[in-house]
Structure 1
Amino acid sequence: MTEFLALALFLFTFGVLLIGYPVAFTLSGCALIFAGIGYLTGTFDPVFLEAIPNRIQGTLSNELLVAIPLFVFMGVMLEKSKIAEDLLETMGLVFGGLAGGLGISVTLVGMLLAASTGIVGATVVTMGLLSLPTMLRRGYSPQVATGTICASGTLGQIIPPSIVLVLLGDVISSAYQQSQLDRGIYSPDSVTVGDLFLGALVPGILLVCLYIAYLIMVAIVSPEKVPPIPEEERKVSKELWFQVITVLFPPVMLIVLVLGSILSGIATPTEAASVGSVGAIVLAIFKRMFSLSILKEVLRTTTEVTAMVFLILIGAALFSLVFRGFGGDDIVRDFLTSLPGGVFGAMLLVMLVMFLLGFFLDFIEITFVVVPIVAPILLTMGLDPVWLGIMIALNLQTSFLTPPFGFSLFYLRGVAPDSVSTSDIYRGVMPFIAIQLFVLIMLAIWPQMATWLPETVYG
């Protein structure tokens, strides 16, 4: 009966989410309903619910999670200060003379925006509004244009400082400590956000390089799909290079300050995020894009996103307590450890399930609901926590790009002109999905791609 209720709780919650109810209230509401059923049937001990106040207090007092609203504020402020628009215009002029140059510019700007904002939805929408009309007007194939924008926009999942990695850092750290206790080992060591940031650098940069290599290949094989900007429309001069320096230098310096201070250990992610927020305000002031109305809009968006994240956190904490109360974690552990193939079979199944869940759930729900259940089990089986975190992030990034339910595709469809069909978007992302799967397989075969840099820097 207990096993049945644990499975029913998970399936019922997933079904309610698919209907469209708010995630935070669905998680907590379904958990309380099944806790009541379990109490009435004598299969659930309400003592598990006594931990709820401590869980909520721990969530709200977690210094690491304070970085979330600060990074969101930084990203939204940079978006409102038109930095993306200036970067696209300038990089387009630099690379526009080459076949595929405009696509390369979009990829590089997407990488910079990913490192500046870390917000996938905002990046895809911004790039779609600014670059898609220009690419289509220059004669770009709709498939190549939309695929490049979607793929570049989702780099915010893996390029640090990524909000996904910040959230995963907190969850993976807790899972790692739990796995150590399960193995009878007490260790003060844990996984930090800096570890995940370093671990994501090599796979993230490799993705960008492969995206650019694909665009170069298209330019060689089918140059008519990615034509260059006519020379008379480009202003290659000393003024252009001055513009490149003035446009690139401020956001790059901000990225270096934020990311560098975290990786070097000078500042915690929260402290670095606060510096990034102040830096974003300074950049907006210098660009004369700072006003009281913009500040109010940025604060409103930041508050909405932060409230959503923390409500989901609290709902997920309640869900996990009830799920554990029914012995759900033991059921999952027994199932994964009994799979053929051992660790490989368990990891493959978890990655597949997360990939499919990424069609329906946002990364926040997956991070707070699914990862706490499976991560301690996988880590107990001997997997490296940094490698596991990067695999999850890259897997979700691929899922968000995959038709027919990829979130990035929906974001771009919402801002793309009617002349661009949904099938164009679907066909356009296929080569980039293949690239991401290739990198995911490489990371699975060579975990050192994620673990070498953290081990080298932090020893």
Structure 2
Amino acid sequence: MSLAILALILFVSIFLLVLYGYPVAFTLGGLSLLYAFCFLDPVVLTLLPNRVMGVMDNSVLLAVPLFVFMGIMLEKSGLAERMLRTMTELFGRVRGGMAISVIIVGALLAASTGIVGATVITMGLISLPPMLKRGYPATVSTGVIAASGTLGQIIPPSVVLVLLGSVLGVSVGKLFSAALWPSLLLVGAYVLYIIGLGILKPQLFPRGDNDLKGWTPAFFKDLLQSLLLPLLLIVAVLGSILAGKASPTEASAIGAFGAVLLTLTQGKLKWATVRDVCQDTTHLTAMVFMILLGATTFSLVFRELGGDQFLVRLINQGGLSEYQFLAFVMIVVFVAGFFIDFIEIVFIIVPVVTPIFIGYGTDLVWLGILLGINLQTSFLSPPFGFALFYLKGVAPPEVKTVHLYKGIIPFLVIQVFLLIVVVLFPNWLGISM
């Protein structure tokens, strides 16, 4: 049996073990080391310490714990609930105003946190009960919340994009810049859908939704504290990156410090809060970096076995064009997103296919945006979308799984449409080809 075939068996074995529930980091690293001891010259393993130190010396990856800290701190601050209340008043005279408010608040939280699970759960807890109480159908309510909660996959500063930038070997700042227009287009499409639904089916949105209390001084104070301050933080973080004034790592430090100040303005900055945020940040960061070190081991062994060269030859012999191979990879990533987390997909699948895309001459920034949108879409897709499981876990008993499945379908159509637009018109979206 050739070493290249063993490389493919290694890849499939890891994928199956992860699906079965084994810890990702130890499966990636442990099984790869086992294959290296059995089938490779032990000298190959002397390359591993340098690779590990290369990961640990990567200053861009410092942005991961800082953005995670920023997101969890803002989640603990109570800003999300306050933003939703203020936005609902702001759009109170628009039919479906609360649904629009949920989308906008979800987008703001995505731009502030970049953590999908936390955003979906937070939005489910604070917005689903009020929407149902106002008379919104469960399908519309759950669809809006799940779709807006997963915007953190693509709206910068997204942890997904930071990790993709590291794996693809491209600038995280360029990924953030390229993701800006597609993410704004996606949010706009969500809002237009709700407005159109309100025009075509006004019975879905009760008149009790139109309850703007007035432009009082108290309302303006709420607007300032709950909306403008988070916007200033987002502008400080993203603006400094896009303007070239700060690296993603430096901007993430600004964001983490700004999140602490915003929590202080809400009166929620207590020792218990800081302790919980630091513990959660340490837990998530340790998980990400353990998976990253395992993925580094897997990448080394896979390439030393000749797996990447074998795949390139296989693609060339099959006569697949760049777009045909892209479609194949997108389908694989989409289906994998049903079963495993985005971190695992980024570190298992993406390193394997990246050399092939480099051989095609594919723009890796464009590829990173497509992967981000695709992962977001798989997070929403029935029957196994992670966002649907997160939301079902915090939904009231009267909300059934079938409501989530029906409610998310229109948003999936919008997602697929955006994916097609980015494939066909990358230059229009500011992504150079």
TM-score scaled to structure 2, two decimals?
Answer: 0.96
SS of equivalent to 1:331: helix
Q: Partner letter of residue 10 of structure 2?
A: L
One-letter code aligned to 2:276? E
**1:94-117, CA deviations, whole angstroms, 9 ceiling, x for partnerless residues?**
113321111100000000000000
Aligned mates of 2:88, 2:176 — CA distance in 1: 29
- 8 A Cα contact 2:95 2:209, kept in partner: no
Q: Which residue of 2 aligns with 1:447?
A: 426
2:19 aligned with 1:18, yes or no?
A: yes
Give CA deviations for 1:27-46 in whole Å, capped at 9, x if unaligned: 112112222332xxxxx233
Q: How does 1:298-317 map to 2 (within 5 A)?
A: 298-317=277-296
What is the aligned partner in structure 2 of residue 75 from structure 1?
Answer: 71
Which amino acid is the alignment partner of residue 322 of structure 1?
V
Quote how far apart the aligned CAs of 1:3 are: 2.9
State how far apart, in whole Å, the 2-side matches of 1:207 and 1:339 are. Answer: 35
Partner SS, residue 99 of structure 1: coil
Assess if the C-alpha contact under 8 Å between 1:63 and 1:270 holds in 2: yes
Cα distance per residue 1:311-357 (max 9 Å; x no partner): 00000011111111221111221223334441111111111111111
Give the Å deviation of 1:450.
Answer: 4.2
Query: Is residue 77–residue 284 contact of structure 1 (8 Å, CA) maintained in 2?
Result: yes
The residue that corresponds to 1:3 in the other structure is: 4
Shift of 1:81: 0.5
Aligned to 1:116: 112
Q: Are residue 347 (structure 1) and residue 329 (structure 2) matched? A: no
The answer on 1:54 being equivalent to 2:50 is yes
The aligned residue for residue 196 of structure 2 is 217
| Secondary structure in 1 matching 2:409 | helix
Partner residue, 1:183 = none
Aligned residues: 431
Amino acid at match of 2:291: I
Structure 1 pair 416–49 and aligned structure 2 pair: CA distance change class (3 A): same
Contact kept, 8 Å, 2:153 with 2:376, in 1: the verdict is: yes
Q: Secondary structure at the match of 2:163?
A: helix
8 Å CA contact 1:71, 1:277 repeated in 2? yes
Point out where structure 2 has 5 or more consecutive residues left out of the alignment.
none
Matches of residues 82-121 of structure 1 in structure 2 within 5 Å? 82-121=78-117
* CA distance in structure 2 between the aligned counterparts of 1:344 and 1:337, rounded to whole angstroms: 13
Q: Is 2:317 the counterpart of 1:335? A: no
Q: 2:213 aligns with which of 235, 245, 252?
A: 235
> What amino acid sits opposite 1:319 in the alignment?
F
Structure 1 unaligned spans of 5+? 39-43, 174-190
Q: Is 1:412 paired with 2:411?
A: no
Q: How far apart in 2 are the matches of 1:313 and 1:29?
A: 13
After TM superposition, give the deviation of residue 170 of structure 1 in Å. 1.4
Alignment of 1:371-390 (within 5 A): 371-390=350-369
- For 1:338, what is the secondary structure of its paired residue? helix
SS across alignment from 2:208 = coil
**CA distance in 1: counterparts of 2:156 and 2:209, whole angstroms:** 35
Query: Is the CA contact 2:161–2:176 (under 8 Å) kept in the aligned structure 1?
Result: yes
Paired AA for residue 288 in structure 1? G
Is contact 1:386-1:450 (8 Å) kept?
no
3-state SS in 2 of match to 1:346 = helix
1-structure distance, mates of 2:227, 2:424:
36
- Residue 187 of structure 1 corresponds to none
- Residue identity in the other structure for 2:252: A
Return the match for 1:275 from 217, 236, 254: 254
Mapped to 2, the partners of 1:341 and 1:301 lie a distance apart of 44
SS in 2 for 1:400: helix
Aligned to 1:188: none
Secondary structure of 1:229's aligned partner: helix
The aligned residue for residue 376 of structure 2 is 397
Q: Deviations over 1:362-407 (max 9, x none)?
A: 1111112211111121122111121111011111111111111111
Q: What's the CA shift for 1:227?
A: 2.2
Kept in 1: contact 2:337–2:385 (CA 8 A): yes
* RMSD between aligned residues: 1.5
2:268 to 289, 303, 324: 289
Q: Which amino acid aligns with 2:62?
A: V
Q: What are the Cα deviations for residues 161-180 of structure 1, in whole angstroms up to 9, with x where unaligned?
A: 1111111111122xxxxxxx
Query: Displacement of 1:47 after TM fit?
Result: 2.7
The secondary structure found in structure 2 opposite 1:116 is: helix
Contact 1:98 1:229 in 2 (8 A): no
Partner of 1:41: none
Percent identical residues: 51
**Aligned equivalents of 1:360 and 1:322: distance in 2?**
25
Deviation (angstroms), 1:230 = 5.0
- Tell me the equivalent position of 1:184: none
Mapped to 1, the partners of 2:269 and 2:289 lie a distance apart of 28
Match for residue 242 of structure 2?
Answer: 263
Give the Cα separation in 2 of the matches to 1:309 and 1:119: 13
SS at match of 1:159: coil
- Give the equivalent residue in structure 2 for 1:429: 408
Give how far 1:77 is off.
0.4
- How far 1:154 sits from its partner (Å)? 0.7
Question: Is the CA contact 1:387–1:450 (under 8 Å) kept in the aligned structure 2?
Answer: no
Q: 1:226 to 1:49 in 2, by over 3 A?
A: farther
User: How far off is 1:57 after superposition?
Assistant: 0.8
Provide the C-alpha distance between the structure 1 equivalents of 2:430 and 2:119, rounded to a whole number of angstroms.
Answer: 28
Label 1:152 to 1:228 Cα distance change in 2 as closer, same or farther (>3 A). Answer: farther
Q: Which amino acid aligns with 2:417?
A: F
**CA deviations over 1:58-105 (Å, ceiling 9, x no partner):** 111110001100000010001100010110011011113321111100
- Cα shift at 1:22: 1.1
Q: Structure 1 residues 237 and 278, CA, compared in 2 at 3 Å: closer, same or farther?
A: same
- Given that 1:71 and 1:117 are in contact with CA atoms closer than 8 Å, whether structure 2 keeps it comes out as yes
CA contact (8 A) 1:354 1:395 kept: yes
Does the 8 Å contact 1:333/1:377 carry over to 2? yes
The correspondence for 1:205, drawn from 181, 184, 193, is 184
